[in-house]
Structure 1
């Protein structure tokens, strides 16, 4: 549809008029008792006859008269008489002030300043006494950032919690802001400072508002804090982390208290630099960091270590944690809600008043979490936790050996320090979640290997298959270490005693190690799990063939490779899907966050097992993502919104960066085959390390495949069983394998720098004991 010329001209003229006042936020006052002011007002009305005029002065005078004499009971006649007496025969038309709002093109008749403030704050009493109101009227408050800051500023203005308000924001209003900022669509693309200042002026034209339209910068921070009188309180609601720090440092130098409210869980930060001049900024959360380098950091991954301590990753609400995981996948930025912004503004204004009046002197971080304060009563539910079997004592071990006739003396007696050395190498084998499920006992010239069932049997250790793989790897290390120590080993599995007793070993001196065994054994100490993205290199088919032939020296073992990018991508998607399933399955999630992961250095050192988050080769962003999923409620919500695609993307990225993907299989799923598969996996891993490759085992998919196919008591839901079945079908097609094949060990093979940090191992005395011979 085309507009006619007249309509088009009218619209253009209207736009032109509105643009004349785009940055205007101060009303023009006309006190027409003054002849010069009356002439100016007349000229304005002649120039703009379309101006709307509002005259409610009589209503305002009624409120004034009632407020001045609160004990008098007025009727309509006596109230009018009181108004006339107050006017002292002055023309009501000329009484007070005519305020013109250029951006509204409205003229409003109001009381003059003193009477206007008196009437407008009358209903504050005695929640705020007159003396307190007068004191607040002398205070200067600065607000940086006008999202949450808009709600804070307007609430301060409504309550008249200060006499001067300085507001700073460099941004304009976007349509996306209207989910939390109270404004109109007509204000889109208008400066946020102007919008807030106008709203305050329309509420209280006498409240002094000073706008800093460029936000806070190094060049204006001193003016913001000190020009025309120092601020009495700084309220920080800005998004810029470096401004948060620099503004606080300046405020600390000047002794200005700082208040900040985070709309998530209504997090309140109070820093009383006026009372505690030596107090570290942001409660010391960033004291250990060199903040001078922050501005030079270009990526979010570089900035995360600075930001995370301030936002409090662990203390975010469950939905915010879930949302943070989804940023840059299903959403583009941090979410905020109008309800949280609104009550955050009210709480901040309330705390501001208490600070200004000297009623609150505390510093610190506080939470006013409505979801926790007002919530449905939680039902008492009994959890059917698995019974954790206690670790066997030495006497229990020896009783078991004797009662099952596992003792023997055919081997030579080996010195304790040699046995310790063998076991130390064995214990360097990989294990699922670094649970280290081995327990060694040397008795009557025989070394016994037991499964430590006190650490085995987790959700991703169904029927102990993961522990069997780990024990098989430990056996391979033991045999290699014995070989280079010139020890011949007579050993055997003890399948009739599984899962308690795994194998026994007897030693004789005089063995000569092969060059191959020497190579493999030399890598035992340096072998480690590397989860980095690989460096793109061409696949060396000779290396793959060598690794395959070596691995398949274990009876029944088969090793297959996939190197095609599309196949790797599909595998990455399968792996990512099972990673999400692991997170979304409550028992698996609980095992992951409490049994497997170690979140602090103290936890790592105290437990001497599990996987330290610092060993995962993750970016700062990915580390934060991992910490966010510690919260079961966040994970539940993430599942509800079908979230978590970031984990899938990370998995695909890792798979595509690998030279090849390998899969070790055996003909059937049995305890013995998982033990053999563990030996084969360790042999392959050591050989790969000798060739300069890194290995990243990715066993979550094949464990879920086992649960769906073979687990004695499958606890998966019908929907999850179907999902896994579909994933498994794709997986089998990729590797061209048939049903009932035991998929033992899936891994990425790639070139990359070695990992800087390694998982810790238990002290030898916790895994090895000696009997009395």
Structure 2
């Protein structure tokens, strides 16, 4: 395949979605084997409970690589967590030439997929689109539940909004959220990660409020007084401008299931893009549920944990949890116009390095 071929594949990989656009991956190429690793230079966050968001993102990146490789006539053999002694090695991908492979249509949509936060008309989800998305999830080994009834959407919008309010008024979650945002065009270009404010599709009033909320001392008193209802309004409005809410799960638990789920999620998102549907993740609440339901709910106080248990009960009335399944993503679908901006990605050479194939045991990259 050569270095140029590997670079092209990694260029597709980094187009994958990741929470906060943190891009939690690095790649090591050794011959025709590509090692996909977690980027351990990035500090853990409260939302990335037990690395679940990281593994989901890397799974999505692996799916992009597989699609792009097959489009170029290369078969891709994926092994997840091949070395138990090296949990940072998430996958190895081995490539072999096979010009007989059919072109995967989803590969053509990798560069067009994006988070779309724009509000659309509250029109019903087309029945054919619903079936296509459900079949896509099932073909990937996942389960997709879609909520389209308007009163149920309203209830879930309020639940999601309450989770957004909790996030904004928790000191650590607030600090980590503000660190993800890129406030100026220069900061966007310099970092090439995080959330570009332009992608929020916010009006001037919302941006002014966000700028004020950027500073924790402004919110400490709001938290003390039990205020902050306005922080829930964004989700309520977004869901109101949606055609459906989706809840994607995959059988199994733990990192391997999360990586497989990331691949299923990426296929679903690419399929939605091909149908002209905008997709916006609303997954903060799922990550908070996972933390609150763990015996050690570090980072959440008793009141926050109790609030999350109440919100889980409300959501479960419409989206019952499935025993033995991993919750991957909660998201909204809309027939909104295309987004006006897209978050940048880091350059390929900043996340990829090459190493000559040699006696190093498989799965164990030598020191950079």
- TM-score, normalising length: structure 1: 0.45
Could you say which residue in structure 1 is the equivalent of 2:162?
A: 577
| Contact 1:456–1:464 (CA under 8 A) maintained in structure 2 | no
Q: Aligned equivalents of 2:275 and 2:101: distance in 1? A: 20
Go from structure 1 to structure 2 and tell me whether the alpha carbon gap of 1:682 and 1:456 turns closer, same or farther (over 3 Å shift): farther
* Rg larger for: 1
Is the partner of 1:753 in helix, strand or coil? coil
| Contact 1:435–1:456 (CA under 8 A) maintained in structure 2 | no
Q: How does 1:163-242 map to 2 (within 5 A)?
A: none
1:708 paired to 2:267? no
1:664 paired to 2:258? no
1:738 Cα shift?
4.2
Is the partner of 2:78 in helix, strand or coil? strand
Q: Aligned equivalents of 1:489 and 1:667: distance in 2? A: 23
| Contact 1:463–1:711 (CA under 8 A) maintained in structure 2 | no
Could you say which residue in structure 1 is the equivalent of 2:125?
A: 539
Could you say which residue in structure 2 is the equivalent of 1:488?
A: 75
Could you say which residue in structure 2 is the equivalent of 1:509?
A: 97
Go from structure 1 to structure 2 and tell me whether the alpha carbon gap of 1:711 and 1:545 turns closer, same or farther (over 3 Å shift): farther
Could you say which residue in structure 2 is the equivalent of 1:427?
A: 14
Could you say which residue in structure 2 is the equivalent of 1:615?
A: 199
Go from structure 1 to structure 2 and tell me whether the alpha carbon gap of 1:673 and 1:710 turns closer, same or farther (over 3 Å shift): farther
1:669 Cα shift?
3.3
| Contact 1:677–1:745 (CA under 8 A) maintained in structure 2 | no
Could you say which residue in structure 1 is the equivalent of 2:37?
A: 450
Query: What do residues 24-58 of structure 1 show as CA deviations (whole Å, max 9, x unaligned)?
Result: xxxxxxxxxxxxxxxxxxxxxxxxxxxxxxxxxxx
| Contact 1:732–1:738 (CA under 8 A) maintained in structure 2 | no
Is the partner of 1:534 in helix, strand or coil? coil
Could you say which residue in structure 1 is the equivalent of 2:52?
A: 465
Could you say which residue in structure 2 is the equivalent of 1:770?
A: 354
Could you say which residue in structure 1 is the equivalent of 2:329?
A: 745
Q: How many pairs align?
A: 356
Is the partner of 1:662 in helix, strand or coil? strand
Could you say which residue in structure 1 is the equivalent of 2:190?
A: 606
Q: Aligned equivalents of 2:147 and 2:101: distance in 1? A: 33
1:729 Cα shift?
1.1
1:449 Cα shift?
0.5
1:673 Cα shift?
1.4
Q: Aligned equivalents of 1:661 and 1:511: distance in 2? A: 39
Residue of structure 2 aligned with 1:655, choices 234, 239, 242: 239
Q: Which fold has the larger relative contact order, with Cα–Cα distance below 8 Å and residues 6 or more apart in sequence?
A: 2
1:499 Cα shift?
3.6
Give unmatched runs, 5+ long, in structure 2. 358-368
Residue of structure 1 aligned with 2:171, choices 576, 586, 596: 586
- TM-score, normalising length: structure 2: 0.93
1:668 Cα shift?
4.2
Q: Aligned equivalents of 2:86 and 2:166: distance in 1? A: 30
Q: Aligned equivalents of 2:110 and 2:39: distance in 1? A: 22
1:632 Cα shift?
0.4
Is the partner of 2:111 in helix, strand or coil? coil
Q: Aligned equivalents of 1:763 and 1:491: distance in 2? A: 24
Query: What do residues 670-712 of structure 1 show as CA deviations (whole Å, max 9, x unaligned)?
Result: 1111111111111000000001000000011101111112375
Could you say which residue in structure 1 is the equivalent of 2:114?
A: 528
Is the partner of 2:26 in helix, strand or coil? strand
Q: Aligned equivalents of 2:153 and 2:25: distance in 1? A: 34
| Contact 2:81–2:256 (CA under 8 A) maintained in structure 1 | no
1:754 paired to 2:338? yes
